[in-house]
Chains A and B, each alone.
Chain A
């Protein structure tokens, strides 16, 4: 997998080393949070959050170029948009459960639309749209890696502290609430973790394919393991391995790394699903 055609350049170019390290670092929140997303069955909420990220990215670029506002980073804008979407969807699913799917669709499309309008209002930045949508792991900077690493540490800390409650809420939230667990709080905590994880994954595979990298390694791990803690570890290892493989295989033929990563991820998922069915 790590062919000489990739290893040579890897030793020579810092951007490839950053990309490889970025893939390993995102794997930690991806495996942990992706497992919760799969067992709680909120893949579509994660999809809506990821698409709404474009509004945040577009707003930061627009403010920077048109109004000279420089203190906001694209990643910060993305995180803000993702957290706002998570709050909106979380509130709606608590208060108006029967309309949840409609609101998920609305957040999904309105977030995209706002982002596209903002980017079209921003002169000279249309090229960024492609890297937002499809990701560009080769553009990761050391500063991005520090942020991704910090998020990974934060996710591990939160999961270690609240795993009991999160597990109970995902398995049977009615029972958890009867045992005194504030289930709404943990619902929002999970959506918040999902939002932040989506933001770091966007830098690797882009807005459109985030949902696959978040959920498919975890779903594959679900086929292979029997306990949530094992599922999380296997999902994180798969996520790291798949982004590294996607990077290595795409580099020689100059293919988009994000898309190759997702093709590998999807192939592995369908293969284990078929074997599991036997």
Chain B
């Protein structure tokens, strides 16, 4: 995996800590274009931190992270970021379309109202996530799954090449989650996807490789995930769910 040419996202000897407390140490990874990566690990292990480093919201204490070969700040316009929706104000007066239009910032006009072109792009993004008839619904009236899809549409409206998702399935029930993974699988045909997951989020069989964030950060193709790897990571046996592997790349063992 270190031999990836032109990786979309790469870390070299990356260290990061909050106030001197190390969180990530000597992370080396390279994610190729077209990959679908799930970042897993226990709570507090640094999964979201890794995402924020890739967005340039945090700076590494040592080493480097690059996105499309550049500093993350310079590549942001090519990244679609999907945060958790739980921190958003439920009373906020916006429609689903208003939210998606925010993804057009940086592409649309700087001054004045949105143009028709931006509205068309936002409506297309909503249609792509299956919410074409929900454009004028109040954001807070949407279900958890629909809110999550709206936030994905918002990131798609910015015409990204890389999608970063932070715990997108948190709080979704199983059949909603299933449809959600189908959507991501569809998007993965044209986008590289990196998804932080609180569970082992590759159960739907759509994830191509897994980054385990623990004491050290290790990349596996999904086929190399065994009960032992999971036990090492979480410190206890976890339920394993079998699925069809589609990954043939070489990975290394924990």
Contacts and interface: CB of A to CB of B under 8 A. Distances in A.
B251 interface: no
Given A178-B81, A180-B77, A168 B95 contact: no
A231 interface: yes
A165 B98 contact: no
B83 interface: yes
B18 interface: no
B105 A228 contact: no
B98 A227 contact: yes
Given A39-B89, A228-B93, A167 B112 contact: no
B174 interface: no
A3 interface: no
A175 interface: yes
A174 B83 contact: yes
Residue among A165, A170, A177, A178 having the largest count of chain B Cβ atoms under 10 Å? A178
Interface in A141-189: 160-165, 167-168, 170-172, 174-181
Contacts of B79: 178
Given A178-B81, A222-B91, A171 B102 contact: yes
A227 B95 contact: yes
A226 interface: yes
A225 interface: yes
Nearest to B95: A227
Given A39-B92, A39-B93, A171-B94, A164 B83 contact: no
A172 B98 contact: no
B55 A178 contact: yes
A184 B81 CA distance: 20
A171 B114 CA distance: 17
Contacts of A160: 112-113
A228 B102 contact: no
A171 B88 contact: yes
A159 to B, nearest CB: 11
A164 B103 contact: no
Given A171-B99, A172-B102, A226 B111 contact: no
Contacts of B99: 171
B80 to A, nearest CB: 9
B44 interface: no
A161 B55 contact: no
A160 B154 CA distance: 22
B111 A162 contact: yes
A171 B94 CA distance: 9
A180 B73 CA distance: 9
A176 B102 contact: yes
Contact of A175 (B92, B102, B108, B114): B102
Contacts of A163: 113
Interface in B132-163: 138, 154, 158
B101 interface: yes
B106 interface: yes
A179 B112 contact: no
A167 B154 CA distance: 14
A179 B92 contact: no
B57 interface: yes
Contacts of B76: 178-180
Given A164-B114, A178-B76, A171 B105 contact: no
Contact of A172 (B55, B83, B158): B83
B250 to A, nearest CB: 33
A254 B222 CA distance: 79
Contacts of B57: 174, 177-178
Contact of B105 (A165, A226, A230): A165
A154 to B, nearest CB: 15
B98 A167 contact: yes
A171 B138 contact: no
A162 B111 CA distance: 6
B101 A222 contact: no
Contact of A164 (B77, B95, B101, B158): B101
Interface in A206-261: 222, 225-228, 230-231
Interface of B: 55, 57, 76-77, 79, 81, 83, 88-89, 91-95, 98-99, 101-103, 105-106, 108, 111-114, 138, 154, 158
13 contacts: A161-B111, A161-B112, A164-B108, A167-B102, A170-B92, A171-B102, A172-B88, A176-B105, A179-B102, A180-B76, A180-B105, A180-B106, A227-B95
